Amino acid sequence: MDILIGIIPAIFWGFAPIATKKTGGSPIQQLVGNTFGSLLLAGVIILIFRPAISIPDFIWCFFSGAAWALGQLMQYISFTKMNVSSAVPSFAGIQMIGTSLFGIFFLNEWVSTSSKILGFLCMIALFIGILFTAHQDKHEQRRHNKHEHHIGVICLVVGGIAYTFCDVLPRVPNASGLSGILPQTIGQIVTSLIISRIIVPKQWGKFLIGKKTVENTFCGLLSGGGTFFYLVSSKINGVATGFPLSQLNSVISVIAGILFLHEHKDHLEMIYTEFGLILIVLSAFIIGHIQ
């Protein structure tokens, strides 16, 4: 049952970027709209369960939400520079490596030497999988702007690091999913509002209630649902196990990106993507069973 709970976030997070891409809007509209949706979901959960929230829980989860906002904005920018089906697995792999390293060195989740060796081998495989899923052959590099693709990769790296902090900060006070979701969501929306105010200084009020911002609110319900179940999973399974399971969203996003967004991948790119996904998924499952 614990493993099944760990997979639920993958379903929500797998379809969230597809829904956001289909909805459209600028990256900052997508970010603000998503945080509004997450706040709505968090409010409903708090009203139903009324969890106790300690001061340490609030502080650490608030900054976790702030890191999420930065990471999510970087991911949305990357979607404008490269395919979702290439970006999401790379993003997931970077997060997985960072979160697992934190679990090893700061939370002592992998105790034995053999576990650490196996884990590091899996992380090497993850890194190779990232390189394969983000690969563009020379024909595609000529068809697309190579410089833009490189910007997308940089955004993925920065976003992956930010999202690593989002994933691990709630574990510092050992916050539960219920006690962490509201302060985390507040951190998300405060940070996204600050960023949007900087980017859109004129007619900021109209921007907040603009059509695309409002439409992306519904996409935020998917992201918020994934966040809630991930917080629950990380409490039950631990960060080094719960996070890799949740990142099976890569498979969903790749398939959905090709089917629903009609993203083009030639034969060689598909081979690279499939091999990269195999490495990421196998590594995730092995990491998920390391004691």
Distances 52 to 48, 65, 140, 176, 201 between C-alpha atoms, Å:
12, 18, 52, 10, 37
Q: For the segment 223-273, what is each residue's pLDDT rounded down to a tens digit?
A: 878 877 877 787 787 766 776 677 678 888 888 888 888 887 778 888 888
Most confident of 5-19, 132-146, 253-267: 5-19
153-167 average pLDDT score: 90
Confidence (pLDDT) at 42:
87
Q: For the segment 54-112, what is each residue's pLDDT rounded down to a tens digit?
A: 999 999 999 999 999 999 999 999 998 888 888 888 887 888 788 888 877 777 777 78
Over 50: is that where the pLDDT of 199 sits? Answer: yes
3-state DSSP of the chain: CHHHHHHHHHHHHHHHHHHHHHHCCCHHHHHHHHHHHHHHHHHHHHHHHCCCCCHHHHHHHHHHHHHHHHHHHHHHHHHCCCCHHHHHHHHHHHHHHHHHHHHHHCCCCCCCHHHHHHHHHHHHHHHHHHHHHCCCCHHHHHHCCHHHHHHHHHHHHHHHHHHHHHHHHHHCCCCCHHHHHHHHHHHHHHHHHHHHHHHCCCCHHHHHCCHHHHHHHHHHHHHHHHHHHHHHHHHHHCHHHHHHHHCCHHHHHHHHHHHHCCCCCCHHHHHHHHHHHHHHHHHHHHHHCCC
Over 60: is that where the pLDDT of 144 sits? Answer: no
* Furthest-apart CA atoms within the chain: distance in Å: 58
Q: For the segment 162-191, what is each residue's pLDDT rounded down to a tens digit?
A: 989 988 898 888 887 778 888 999 999 999
Confidence (pLDDT) at 158:
94
37-50 average pLDDT score: 86
Confidence (pLDDT) at 36:
92
CA count, 13 A, side-chain hemisphere, 122: 26
Confidence (pLDDT) at 142:
47
Over 70: is that where the pLDDT of 141 sits? Answer: no
What is the C-alpha separation between 272 and 132, in angstroms, rounded? 5
Q: For the segment 46-59, what is each residue's pLDDT rounded down to a tens digit?
A: 888 888 899 999 99
